[in-house]
A and B are shown apart, each in its own frame.
Chain A
Amino acid sequence: TQLLEQSPQFLSIQEGENLTVYCNSSSVFSSLQWYRQEPGEGPVLLVTVVTGGEVKKLKRLTFQFGDARKDSSLHITAAQPGDTGLYLCAGAGVSNYKLTFGKGTLLTVNP
């Protein structure tokens, strides 16, 4: 069974601060995805990383896939209240269609 551990589980910061969220596993994934979920809504895909060591940037968000494709991180620069939400990482195994999700990091950015 593939498991993804996310940390921290909860994060409350002030507007303008930087933060990093981690996603770790003992399993190798063929790809890893990051989603953002708001209350009452489904997860929305932010990025997919496929290659070990890959770094992708999406405005103030930087995503990194570990060299061994077992872990990933999400770094947000100068967080804004609009960044508030549940951030989920999800790994795809060999089948590449079944996603294993972490429990998520609930981020609150206070104005």
Chain B
Amino acid sequence: GAGVSQTPSNKVTEKGKYVELRCDPISGHTALYWYRQSLGQGPEFLIYFQGTGAADDSGLPNDRFFAVRPEGSVSTLKIQRTERGDSAVYLCASSHQGQGSPLHFGNGTRLTVT
């Protein structure tokens, strides 16, 4: 079966621009997560969706970051007024139920802000 799909795989943007990163989770997975992985670091939690709602957005760095999952499947991570420090790999993961269920990660979107 298909795994978690993230598009684009690479995104280069200029400082100050707006970007959208897309995640297609595994079909039937109700839980969806966004993590950010900077060079030489482990992934850092950003936000967790259970169904359509953001159950925990405590990891979003500031109000330039926003994520939606309007139909409980595909999710979009939106970053406004991008800064060079936003450059990282943005990973999406999904799991069957959420708490205690194994996470399945996509291959990430590598964002470079110039």
Binding site for B on A (CB under 8 A): 4, 31, 33, 40-45, 48, 88, 90, 92, 95-104
Contacts and interface: CB of A to CB of B under 8 A. Distances in A.
Contact of B105 (A42, A96, A100, A103): A42
Interface stretch (B14-22, B43-51, B63-71, B77-85): B43-51
Contacts of A43: 43, 91, 105
B1 interface: no
A45 B45 CA distance: 16
A97 B31 contact: yes
Contacts of B108: 41-42
Interface in B24-82: 31, 33, 35, 40-45, 48, 55-56, 59
B107 A41 contact: yes
B40 A103 contact: yes
Contacts of B31: 97
A95 B45 CA distance: 13
Interface in B71-114: 91, 93, 98-100, 102-108
Contact of A42 (B4, B44, B48, B98): B4
Given A42-B4, A42-B107, A95-B56, A103 B102 contact: no
Contact of B48 (A40, A41, A97): A97
Given A96-B100, A97-B98, A97-B99, A103 B42 contact: yes
Contacts of B100: 31, 92, 96-97
